[in-house]
Chain A
Amino acid sequence: MRRPRRTDSPKIIALIIGSKRTSLAKALSLWVSRRPPYESNQVMKPIRPAPLLTTPPVPLDGPVRCPLPQSTSAPRANPASPAQPVAPFPVDIYADDVRIYLRAELPGVTPATLQIHPHAGHLTVFACAKALPSAGPTSEHVFGRLIALPDCETSATLISTDYALGILTLVLSCAKDPELRPIAIPVN
């Protein structure tokens, strides 16, 4: 008996699904052919998930509203107005044996408005960008992002914060889960 080839896939799949819809069979065949070849002696390597970097649809600690600029003395007309749209920002993450270093591009931010909240394996960063002098308070906007910390299952501890040239640098320490911590086993 002839060994089935890859070109036979549409016919085989059409037989299996009992249908004469060759387009469906071809689509399934294409999906099968694009799968990576599996070898029986292949060792499946554990996949390390990439850091999850997403923008939260809503801030975790309630809506963020940037304060009005200093030049405007009148209070906000409607304090219950919806929160300003949150803009994401680029983040670089570095690490060494004990600490996590995070560099975020946040140009034109008022350092006093920085909100950094570490929580289980994640970090939330919010900041208000200064309003343009000529564009008025409408040009003010909020930077915000939820950042997953690599290899950090517990809540990280914020060690230091530095803001210079529009770049926020955070140094964090993450207490490793006891089950994930490497244990040295003495060999006699």
Chain B
Amino acid sequence: MLPLLPLLAHTSYTPPPEDEHPSRKPVFRMVETEAAYTLTVQLPGVDKPGMELVAKNGVLTIIGRREWHKPAAWALVHRESTDANFALKFTYDTRIEADKIQALLADGVLTVTLPKSPNLQPKQIPVG
């Protein structure tokens, strides 16, 4: 049986120098099926223009930027959220079909489907 982690190993994210805002790791969950890995990331407050999803050189980078400005009349009483961007980075190898990665953002949850290479999927071998 193939181990899961070597295929999609989570690594710590180092923000690029041009990114001025601090970042934090969002809550995420990875589920494996026969055909694909499904990654679910909680990104509350992130809309589609603020979403950056890049798969390059075996690295999947997820950045979510939040754009909400407090109305001037509102006075802050208590705060638990932050303005920091969400950032997450995964490495993958050739067993993931990078060209067929699909993503859907709905209600602050990003769902990324990473299909497995056909070589990994079960095949029925005819016996002659």
- For the A-B complex, the count of residue pairs with Cβ-Cβ distances under 8 Å equals 90
* Given A165-B44, A165-B107, A165-B108, A134 contacting B74 (CB threshold 8 A): no
Which B residues are closer than 8 A to A by beta carbons?
29, 31, 33, 36, 38, 40, 42-47, 68, 70, 73-81, 106-109, 111
Is B109 a contact of A108 with CB atoms below 8 Å?
Answer: yes
- Selected from B46, B70, B77, B80, the residue in CB contact (under 8 A) with A165 is B46
| B80 x A135 contact (CB < 8 A) | no
Instruction: Specify the chain B residue showing the minimal Cβ separation from A166.
Output: B108
Contact among B47, B79, B107 with A92 in the assembled complex (CB-CB below 8 Å):
B79
Q: Say yes or no: A108-B108 contact (C-beta < 8 A), given A96-B74, A134-B38, A165-B45.
A: yes
Q: Which residues of chain A (149-165) have a CB below 8 Å from chain B?
A: 150, 163, 165
> Which listed residue (B31, B43, B47, B77) contacts A93, Cβ 8 A?
B77
Indicate which residue in A91, A105, A109 contacts B78 across the interface (CB closer than 8 Å): A91
A103 contacts chain B at the CB level, 8 A cutoff: yes
A134 to chain B, nearest CB (A): 4
Of the four ranges (under 10, 10 to 19, 20 to 34, 35 or more), the interface on chain A belongs to 20 to 34
Kindly state the separation between the CA atoms of A94 and B74 in the bound complex, as whole angstroms.
6
Task: Verify A108–B107 contact, CB threshold 8 A.
Answer: yes
**5 contacts across the A-B interface (CB closer than 8 A):** A93-B76, A95-B77, A108-B109, A134-B31, A166-B43
A139 contacts partner chain B, Cβ-Cβ < 8 Å: yes
Which residues of chain A have C-beta atoms less than 8 A from B107's C-beta?
107-109, 130, 163, 165-166
The answer, among A101, A105, A132, A165, for a CB contact under 8 Å with B81, is A105
Chain B residues closer than 8 Å to A51, beta-carbon distance: 77-78
Instruction: List, in ascending order, chain B residues with CB within 8 A of A133's CB.
Output: 38, 111
